[in-house]
Amino acid sequence: MKKILRTTISLCILFLLNSTLTVSANRAPFQAVPILPENQISDRAFYDIQIAHNKTQDLYLVLKNDTLEEINVMITAITATTDAGGRVLYSQKGYTDRSIKYPFETLVTPNPSVVTVPALTEIETSVRLNSPASRYEGIVLGALHITTIAKENDFAGIVNLFAYSLAVRLTSDPAQIIVPDIKFEGAQLLAGERSTGFILDIRNIVPELYRYAELTVDVHSNETTVFSNTTLIDFAPNSFYPLTLTANKAIPPGIYTADATLRIDDDIFYYTGQFNIHENDSNADKFLEQLLPQREGAPGAHLFVIKWWMWLLLLLFLSCLFFIAILIFRQKRKNDNTTKHRRTK
């Protein structure tokens, strides 16, 4: 009986260790390292390249497979954008501003787009870069996004959980100065019975990256302050920041003024608008209908979802514990009966 108990416990421990090692190994199955070219203009760890218009250049990178099986990775090009949190987004396809002339993704051709890396091996691959066809100002900003591709027989069906984004910045003249130009568009104050929202698109219409721009927004009337907010945001070139402020409360009817101030170094941009909320205005449902698609479509963080195989592991683990408990109980009961029988003799 003791032998069976030890065997069962060992199997459970090995099962759990194997599951843990599988998940741990999958955390970083590969690495992507850029090989910086000769026309690199800084000591940054990403591609920071000076390249004239109408040129072709191969960008090289090293893919390292640290696992015991071969892996397939996909290389795609992504244009840098500004996400709803006011950060520059390199890892997902976002929404570019209509003022953009040369989206990065249109300038890059992976060669090939899917690469197989053997087990415990590193290989060199490349993408083909075609600079803008005509003279361009400022910078073109984007990234090479490298993701794993699951095989059909991969355990638990894990797909594209691991990725690297290698930033790429192109310029024809590093010394040029681009004057900031910001536009405000689509301002709305939406009032309802249960909620209030303020929406404003803040557009960077020049090909330049701006860090730590200070944005202050105040929405108020003579008697009521609806919003008062100051934050720091980053702007990707030719991108827009979809500012959305919400409050879970209604506001009384009246005339409201929205003041927005954006400071980029010594340049300051202003927006002022007035909104009239009438006595019979009640559009909370309409406000939510407009806001939710915007939130769902905007790039954001991935939520952690407990997959079916995690529940299966938990169920198997609990089953093992239950089986062990029964064996221990039976063994204890048997020992008690043996002791009792000896005493009766």
pLDDT of residue 190: 85
Q: Which residues pair with residue 73 across a beta bridge?
A: 115, 148
Q: Which of 121-130, 288-297, 333-342 has the lowest mean pLDDT?
A: 288-297
Domain ranges of the chain: 27-171, 182-297
Kindly state the tokens that stand for 110: 């992976």
pLDDT by residue (tens digit) across 260-296? Answer: 999 999 999 999 999 888 776 654 333 333 333 333 3
CA distance 112 to 332: 65
pLDDT of 303 above 70: no
Read off the pLDDT of residues 186-233 as tens digits, 9 standing for 90 and up: 999 888 777 888 999 999 999 999 999 999 999 999 878 888 999 999
Tokens of 95: 């929404």
Residues 108, 144: contact at Cβ < 8 Å?
A: yes
Domain over 182-297 is classified CATH 3.40.1110.10: no
Per CATH, the number for 27-171 is: 2.60.40.10
Mean pLDDT of the chain: 82
pTM for this model (two decimals)? 0.72
- Per-residue pLDDT for 297 more than 50? no
Q: What is the pLDDT of residues 23-79, one digit of tens each?
A: 333 445 789 999 999 999 999 999 999 999 999 999 999 999 998 999 999 999 999
Q: Are strands 239-247 and 225-235 parallel, antiparallel or unpaired?
A: unpaired
pLDDT at 339: 63
Give the pLDDT of residue 324.
Answer: 81
Whether residue 331 contacts residue 3, with contact meaning beta carbons closer than 8 Å, is answered with no
Residue 339, CA atoms < 13 Å, CB-side half-sphere: 6
- d(C-alpha 172, C-alpha 59), whole Å: 17
Bridge-based pairing state of the strands 182-191 and 88-89: unpaired
* HEC secondary structure over the chain: CHHHHHHHHHHHHHHHHHHHHHHHHCCCCEEEEEECCCCECCCCCCEEEECCCCCEEEEEEEEEECCCCCEEEEEEEEECEECCCCCEECCCCCCECCCCCCCHHHCEEEECCEEEECCCEEEEEEEEEECCCCCCCCEEEEEEEEEEECCCCCHHHCCCCCEEEEEEEEECCCCCCCCCCEEEEEEEEEECCCCEEEEEEEEECCCCCEEEEEEEEEEECCCCEEEEEEEEEEECCCEEEEEEEEECCCCCCEEEEEEEEEEECCEEEEEEEEEEECCCCCCHHHHHHHHHHHHHHCCCCCCCCCCHHHHHHHHHHHHHHHHHHHHHHHHHHHHHHHHHHHHHC
Alpha-carbon gap, residue 329 to 80, rounded angstroms? 62
Share of the chain above pLDDT 90, in %: 57
What's the confidence (pLDDT) of residue 192? 74
Q: What end-to-end distance do the CA atoms of the chain give, in Å?
A: 25
